[in-house]
Amino acid sequence: MAGPGDGRSGGPGSPEAFSLLAKLVALAPTNLEDPSHGREEKHHYGEVAELLVSTARHLGLAARVWDARESLPGGRDRFSSARPNVIVEWGLPAARTLLILAHFDVVPVPGEQRERWRSPPHELTVRENGRWYGRGSNDDLGSGVVASLRALHRLSQKGPLPVGVRLLLSPDEETGGAGGIEALVAHDESLPPGSPDRFLLGEAAFLPDGSPYVAAGSSGVCFLDVDRVPPGPCGPFIALARRVESFHSVAQEWRSALPSPDYPSGGGPTPTIPGRATVTGIEIRTEDGGGPLPRLVSARAETEAANQIAGAVTLQFGGDPRALERLERFLREGVREPFAFRRFPEGPPGVLRAQVVGRAGHGGYPHRAANPVNETLRLLEAGLGTGLLDGAPRAEGTLTVDLRSPPEMEPGTSLERFRTFFDPLRSEFPGARFKAPPERQRGGYFLSPEDPVVLRVQRTYEAVTGHPVGIFGEYGGTDASALRRLKTPAGTSLPAVVFGSMDEEAHIHDAEESVDPQRLAEVEELLYRLVSGWPPA
């Protein structure tokens, strides 16, 4: 394992911080929920929680674990395994409390991504450009967990301040689950307002789970699975998939008041944060057919998580070899830039295996990726329309949709609008249905850019970096959305502000995820200054 080249002692670029981040990355606390296939993988939550508690105590901080499965009423019925939330505190009790929220779960690394990693994804590696590479190195083990712990350690060495800090390090943020921040909120709402036993009682909340700007709002998210029961002909399922795909143009008409940090230089589609509906997953399997035309045997997006845009869709066709040659030529000539068609080495006669290759990315940022699912569906529809593919064989299929709403849209609104769009399709495509479990839904979060806390974070961030820092909306979803109903001790809405180290080279949720240790240093310094400079009551 390579180590950091340099960095100021004790800071995020230091050997101590690199060592902690390397341990966290190696533990690979993967969060995968895939209800359509009955999969739930919550790898290494317990080991990570133990490491975080021991590390915090070693740094002189109070730390404990609150397990939602064991401590939340009905937790054993809701959660199949442990959901440890790590509570780290400094300077409490105090007249005023500030909250810092981060998550320690990471998205999976699908097989398609592993081919594109230059180093093992679960081994933190320093490259010649000085960046640290590994799954979770940025989102959110680096940006949130390590930077926050380092900031609290420095605060503990400063001496008494008129404000204390509670750092909450939670699971279940990435691809679904309610055992993290949602469980902490449920715990608090079971207690009287203002109860000192509430975890989330404070003046303000900071979430170092974003990009190097001030995010006053983050998108809502809902993961949908669309299928058809009982299975029917393949052709109509492709048509259904294309109709579902078209909902993206509807969602893009939903607009936030918050500006987009990606527009126009980063490829953002609109000046303000829009809605999005991205088909991130597709899986089709057909039964044997004996017709003269080739048939689609299977199609699968090479991804493991609903919030990951795949780098490729793998296809298999069967049929007469000469007919397959015509189909291959059609697909190869029909694929459009920036996509590519790739055939696998020769297989058995009568079988064509190939891929439509795109550019992987985060499901919340489709404009930064090139989604091969869209191009695959277009090619399959064209093949059916030109008579090169047989649409009659019966097919089982599932689509996964990453549905994002603008920050200020009320929870559930995007889902209801999708339902209104989808209901007419049920008569056109008998058996069509969609599923959206509540644990896979999260509303957006919106805070006025003129809010005093937002402006304080902006001024402090500018002092840390030495250059202007903008106030934007966040394309991705964050745990800030779970705080929207919470109040401060004074009874006002709890303000939550998002920022972090996820710059343009971070590649979060994709191969080659990395973090710039200088960005981590800025996040740590920002947290340190926000707390140490917080005005007394």
- As a three-state string, the secondary structure of 25-47 is HHHCCEEEEEHHHCEEEECCHHH
Cα separation, 257 vs 272, whole angstroms: 6
How many other CB atoms sit within 10 Å of the CB of residue 332? 13
Could you read off the pLDDT of 66-85 as tens digits, one per residue? 999 999 999 999 999 999 99
> Is the confidence at residue 151, as pLDDT, over 90?
yes
pTM, 2 dp: 0.92
- As a three-state string, the secondary structure of 221-253 is EEEEEEEECCCEEHHHHHHHHHHHHCHHHHHCC
- Percentage of the chain modeled with pLDDT above 90: 89
CB 241 within 8 A of CB 279: yes
> Is the confidence at residue 235, as pLDDT, over 50?
yes
Find the range with the poorest average confidence among 16-25, 132-141, 283-292, 383-392. 283-292
Give the mean pLDDT of 322-326. 95
pLDDT of the residue at 390: 95
Cα separation, 525 vs 12, whole angstroms: 10
| Residue 8 confidence class, pLDDT cut points 50, 70, 90 | very low
State the Rg of the chain over Cα: 24
> Is the confidence at residue 265, as pLDDT, over 60?
yes
Q: Which of 204, 35, 26, 36 is nearest to 125 (CA)?
A: 26
CB-neighbour burial class of residue 312 (10 A; exposed 0-12, middle 13-18, buried 19+):
buried
| Residue 290 confidence class, pLDDT cut points 50, 70, 90 | low
Find the range with the poorest average confidence among 140-149, 179-188, 326-335, 436-445. 436-445
Cα separation, 509 vs 223, whole angstroms: 16
Separation of CA 490 from chain center:
33
pLDDT of the residue at 177: 87
Q: Where in the chain is the domain with CATH 3.30.70.360?
A: 221-442
Q: Where in the chain is the domain with CATH 3.40.630.10?
A: 15-217+444-532
DSSP states along 384-413: HHTTSS---SEEEEEEEEEEEE-TTSPTTH
For residue 444 the two structure tokens come to 């957006």
Which is higher by pLDDT, 34 or 19?
A: 19
> Is the confidence at residue 288, as pLDDT, over 80?
no
pLDDT of the residue at 11: 64
**111-140 b/e with 16+ CB inside 10 Å = b?**
ebbeeebebbbbbbbbeeeebbbbbbbbbb
SS3 529: helix
Cα separation, 33 vs 173, whole angstroms: 11
pLDDT of the residue at 153: 96
Q: Which of 314, 323, 379, 315 is nearest to 349 (CA)?
A: 323
Cα→Cα distances 238→202, 231, 288, 335, Å: 50, 12, 17, 17
> Is the confidence at residue 6, as pLDDT, over 50?
no
Give the mean pLDDT of 440-448. 94
Could you read off the pLDDT of 483-533 as tens digits, one per residue? 999 999 999 999 999 999 999 999 999 999 999 999 999 999 999 999 999
CB 238 within 8 A of CB 380: yes
> Is the confidence at residue 138, as pLDDT, over 70?
yes
CA atoms within 13 A on the CB side of 54: 9
Q: What is the DSSP letter of 438?
A: G
For residue 41 the two structure tokens come to 């993988």
Q: What angle do CA 96, 99, 105 make, to 5 degrees?
A: 165
Give the mean pLDDT of 179-190. 95
pLDDT of the residue at 13: 73
322 CB contacts (<8 Å, ≥6 apart)?
none
CB-neighbour burial class of residue 54 (10 A; exposed 0-12, middle 13-18, buried 19+):
exposed
For residue 501 the two structure tokens come to 């180290």
Give the mean pLDDT of 204-214. 97
Q: What is the DSSP letter of 465?
A: H
CB 352 within 8 A of CB 324: yes
Cα separation, 86 vs 65, whole angstroms: 5
What's the CATH class of domain 15-217+444-532? alpha beta
| Residue 5 confidence class, pLDDT cut points 50, 70, 90 | very low
**348-386 b/e with 16+ CB inside 10 Å = b?**
eeeebbbbbbbbbbbbbbbbbbbbbbbbbbbbbbebbee
CATH node for 221-442: 3.30.70.360
End-to-end, the C-alpha distance of the chain in Å comes to: 47
CB 165 within 8 A of CB 98: yes
Which is higher by pLDDT, 4 or 187?
A: 187
Cα separation, 362 vs 377, whole angstroms: 20
| Residue 194 confidence class, pLDDT cut points 50, 70, 90 | confident
What's the residue count for the chain? 537
How many other CB atoms sit within 10 Å of the CB of residue 416? 10
Give the mean pLDDT of 436-453. 94
Give the mean pLDDT of 91-108. 96
Cα separation, 411 vs 443, whole angstroms: 4
Instruction: Work out the mean pLDDT of the chain and round it to a whole number.
Output: 94
Give the mean pLDDT of 96-125. 96
Q: Which of 142, 140, 145 is nearest to 131 (CA)?
A: 142
> Is the confidence at residue 1, as pLDDT, over 50?
no
pLDDT of the residue at 537: 75
Separation of CA 203 from chain center:
27
> Is the confidence at residue 427, as pLDDT, over 60?
yes
Give the mean pLDDT of 172-196. 92
Cα separation, 243 vs 358, whole angstroms: 21
